[in-house]
Structure 1
Amino acid sequence: MEMHFATVWESIADAIPDHVAITHADTSRTWAEFDERAARVAQAFTAAGLGPDSKIALYLYNGNEYMEAHYGAFKMRGVAINVNYRYLDEELWYLLDNSDAEAIVFHSSLADRVARVVDRLPNLKLLIVVDDGPGDTVPGALEYESVLASHEPMERIERREDDIYMLYTGGTTGMPKGVMYAVGGLCEGFITQGFPIVGLPAPEDPAQVAQLVKGAVEGGSRMVSISCAPLMHGTGAWIGWFIPMCAGGEIVTLTSRSLDPHEVLQTIEDRKATAITIVGDSFAKPLVRAIDEGKPDGSSYDLSSVAMFLSSGVMWTTEVKQQMLDRVEQAVLVDAMGSSEGSMGTQITMKGLATETAKFTQSPTTKVFTEDDREVVPGSGEIGMVAAGGNVPIGYYKDEEKSARTFRVIDGVRYSFPGDFAQITEDGTLILLGRGSQVINTGGEKVFPEEVEESVKRVEGILDCLVVGVDDEKFGQAVTAVASRVEGSDVDAATVIASVKQDLAGYKAPKSVIFVPNVPRAPNGKANYKVARELATPAS
């Protein structure tokens, strides 16, 4: 039996067929139903002439259909392509063209955008539309449920562990790029890392997965995972879906297409969710406020089922973690340091366990290297680039130059360099400083935005913040904060700047603070520094 998501999930479907696998709103599918529907989608893909390595774009909001179509792609050895549902015409065309998409599965509410780009995509063989309300008609598009009804489930096949899995990055440092992994290594890594988190021993062989899962489910310890983040992003897909699904869990997706913290809390209560995937402070803060607000009738949400909150991709500050633990005392908070290009470390926080922001226990395969590829000595105070070892991506799709820069061999070992800078303490703790692409050079000093953002967000009355460098005649770049206030707060720029100067060296403090209604972030909570810089730059 090969280590492959489709093969592993098929074995779980056989072991626990009557347990719920996926839920969206009032629609739940058992593992047997989930497997059969994905097999019907897979048959539709092959009937349209798609085969191994065919690229299948998912231009969908969170929901059962997203997971069924993705599973269907895995089944027939195709490559599902995650498409940001916020993309408009040119962005959408770029990604579909760059990925060589041969099929698009899309929501009807997004059909107008699809209709405007299909004529520029000569490789397209199949269009499937998922009904989510009124939308434009795309000529030749087939209705999703009709496709399932008109195709028998595809027979199970043997697959290869070197089949390609691809995740497109968000393009925060350039145009989006497809990060390619071997399915086998990724699947094995998720199972090896994820099973201990849910109390299962790591299997020595993929054939053991289903029996371990069956034993856990029959023993009453079953994972119910809510992904608050979009499935189109790595945090939502990997942490909120892939890992718990490999453990036989139920994956619950939310109906709101932006974070509705009260929906999250009500869904936790309704589904007795055990694992909640969020994205740092940008998700945790609204959840904390909603817990305090309670239900419209004045009662409190029942969050007793929650065993853990998991986060990745955006800073999750110690203060906000403590606020969460004050309200959900039994929860374990798992803060994973990673990116589309690899996993680097974790921080575990529980009630009574002191932690510090941006300090992680590095993974055994993680190193920090200087610019001349010399390994940073723990406790030296030296700054270097984080290198993630282990299951390193194959490369970026159709970008050999960037692949060569990001995925490199040092002393015979292949590493991924996502661009994060860090220091290592004497005990091996990884202190994350930030992305090199966002470093601000001011008056001859380097300032990492994340450090300043954390300090600004500690100021009473500040809700969120991004820090950017704005061109300045005197300093080269002036440290500038783009911040939003808590409702009802009148905190001013002088107070923010003075507070930061009490935390950090004076040159790191913002020279100015631009207040905005909402700090620019993507749906997954990740910072949009490009827009923040535009907001901070004076009009000429």
Structure 2
Amino acid sequence: KYRREMTWKEFDIKANRFANLLLTRGIKKGDKVAILLMNCLEWLPIYFGILKTGALAVPMNYRYTSEEIKYCLELSDSITLIFGPEFTGRVESVRDQLHDINHYFYVGEETPSFADSYDCLVTYCSSTSPAVDLTEEDDAAIYFSSGTTGFPKAILHSHKALMSSCRTELHHHGQKHDDVFLCIPPLYHTGAKMHWFGSLLSGSRAVLLRGVKPEWVLQTVSEEKATIVWLLVPWVQDILDAIDCGEVKPEEYRLSQWRLMHIGAQPVPPSLIKRWL
């Protein structure tokens, strides 16, 4: 069992340290910094560290092939890439063609020779928030469409748009300080991150789960006392099927505090809702 946690204060310190690291490397307002990571505790502080510099965060789909990684980095004019161990091979195979990438930061152990260790470098950076002048109208992030009709397409978001998403999700969830939000979908996607924004504004706890097995989901809801859970349709079906065949028994988990299930990303069959109720 692998579990790590951080406070909101630690979150802000980590974001500040990474922001200051980027600034020491010459990253400035308007530059693009790409993120290619699986869900992990570092993901969101890195994202907000980028925003604190005035640069644009460019989250990338972890399913991208090497060519898609190259395409999106070039299309977004990214000059820095943060990546994890799952992507070393893909990044290395196109690295010689990425002429505009000036800095590679690696999150994990056994840093490849062409990258710098994120963990080692941020340790020595200031934890003070950088003095960068930002307005709501400034560009904040570039997200990519799923690319179902061709290569992914870049979508620009301002700081104002992100703040609007924060307030929308806070209101949508009716989120309070004592809520616990369980986030399972990938953070590169707007959906996962925008729903997490409710936790940011309310200062409530959020839990990242890597894995979608029914027993993992129910165990996490139970042990972390999750009150809000975002599930995709296939995951709900898997939970119900596991209950029906006796693989998991709801009575063995603490689920009474679970007050809201957010479900979507595709049409939700009425029959599925009836089964759940």
Relative to the length of structure 2, the TM-score reads: 0.90
The runs of 5 or more residues in structure 1 that have no matched partner are 1-23, 201-215, 326-540
Q: How does 1:177-192 map to 2 (within 5 A)?
A: 177-191=153-167
Q: CA deviation at 1:159?
A: 1.5
For residues 499-518 of structure 1, the C-alpha deviation after alignment (integer angstroms, 9 at most, x for no partner) is xxxxxxxxxxxxxxxxxxxx
Contact conserved, 1:224 with 1:252, CA < 8 A, in 2? yes
Q: CA deviation at 1:314?
A: 0.9
Structure 1 CA distance for aligned equivalents of residues 161 and 89 of structure 2: 38
Contact conserved, 1:55 with 1:101, CA < 8 A, in 2? yes
SS at structure 2 position matched to 1:58:
strand
Structure 2 CA distance for aligned equivalents of residues 261 and 143 of structure 1: 35
Contact conserved, 2:18 with 2:49, CA < 8 A, in 1? yes
Structure 1 CA distance for aligned equivalents of residues 268 and 250 of structure 2: 29
The runs of 5 or more residues in structure 2 that have no matched partner are none
Residues 1:288 and 2:264 are matched in the alignment: no
Q: Which residue of 2 aligns with 1:225?
A: 181
Q: Which residue of 2 aligns with 1:94?
A: 71
Could you say which structure has the larger radius of gyration? Answer: 1
Q: Which residue of 1 aligns with 2:228?
A: 275
Out of 21, 27, 33, which is 1:44 matched to?
21
Give 1:261's aligned amino acid. Answer: P
Percentage identity across aligned positions? 26
Contact conserved, 1:228 with 1:254, CA < 8 A, in 2? yes
Structure 2 CA distance for aligned equivalents of residues 167 and 35 of structure 1: 23
Give 1:284's aligned amino acid. Answer: V
Distance 1:301 1:292, change over 3 A: farther
Structure with the largest fraction of helix:
2
Q: Which residue of 1 aligns with 2:152?
A: 176
Q: CA deviation at 1:255?
A: 2.7
Q: CA deviation at 1:252?
A: 1.1
For residues 483-512 of structure 1, the C-alpha deviation after alignment (integer angstroms, 9 at most, x for no partner) is xxxxxxxxxxxxxxxxxxxxxxxxxxxxxx
Structure 2 CA distance for aligned equivalents of residues 98 and 77 of structure 1: 19
Q: CA deviation at 1:128?
A: 1.2
Distance 1:33 1:190, change over 3 A: closer
Distance 1:322 1:104, change over 3 A: same
SS at structure 1 position matched to 2:106:
strand
Contact conserved, 2:165 with 2:194, CA < 8 A, in 1? no
Distance 1:291 1:245, change over 3 A: farther
Q: How does 1:39-188 map to 2 (within 5 A)?
A: 39-131=16-108, 138-157=112-131, 158-164=133-139, 165-188=141-164
Q: Which residue of 2 aligns with 1:426?
A: none
For residues 248-304 of structure 1, the C-alpha deviation after alignment (integer angstroms, 9 at most, x for no partner) is 222211133xx322211111111111111122x222101222344667799622211
Structure 2 CA distance for aligned equivalents of residues 182 and 81 of structure 1: 13
Structure 1 CA distance for aligned equivalents of residues 21 and 256 of structure 2: 42
Out of 239, 245, 261, which is 2:200 matched to?
245
Q: Which residue of 2 aligns with 1:328?
A: none
SS at structure 2 position matched to 1:28:
coil
Structure 2 CA distance for aligned equivalents of residues 145 and 317 of structure 1: 45
Distance 1:190 1:114, change over 3 A: same
Structure 2 CA distance for aligned equivalents of residues 304 and 125 of structure 1: 51
Distance 1:53 1:25, change over 3 A: farther
Structure 2 CA distance for aligned equivalents of residues 32 and 246 of structure 1: 14
Structure with the largest fraction of strand:
1
Superposed CA RMSD in Å reads: 2.3
Structure 1 CA distance for aligned equivalents of residues 204 and 71 of structure 2: 35
Give 1:138's aligned amino acid. Answer: P
Contact conserved, 1:25 with 1:255, CA < 8 A, in 2? no
SS at structure 2 position matched to 1:181:
strand
Distance 1:248 1:62, change over 3 A: same
Give 2:127's aligned amino acid. Answer: P
SS at structure 1 position matched to 2:217:
helix
Structure 2 CA distance for aligned equivalents of residues 261 and 90 of structure 1: 34
Out of 241, 254, 264, which is 2:209 matched to?
254
Between the two structures, name the one with larger relative contact order (CA 8 Å, sep ≥ 6). Answer: 2
Distance 1:293 1:249, change over 3 A: farther
Q: Which residue of 1 aligns with 2:192?
A: 236
Q: Which residue of 2 aligns with 1:324?
A: 276
Q: CA deviation at 1:49?
A: 0.9
Aligned residues: 275
SS at structure 1 position matched to 2:33:
strand
Q: CA deviation at 1:171?
A: 0.5
Distance 1:151 1:308, change over 3 A: same
Q: CA deviation at 1:234?
A: 1.9
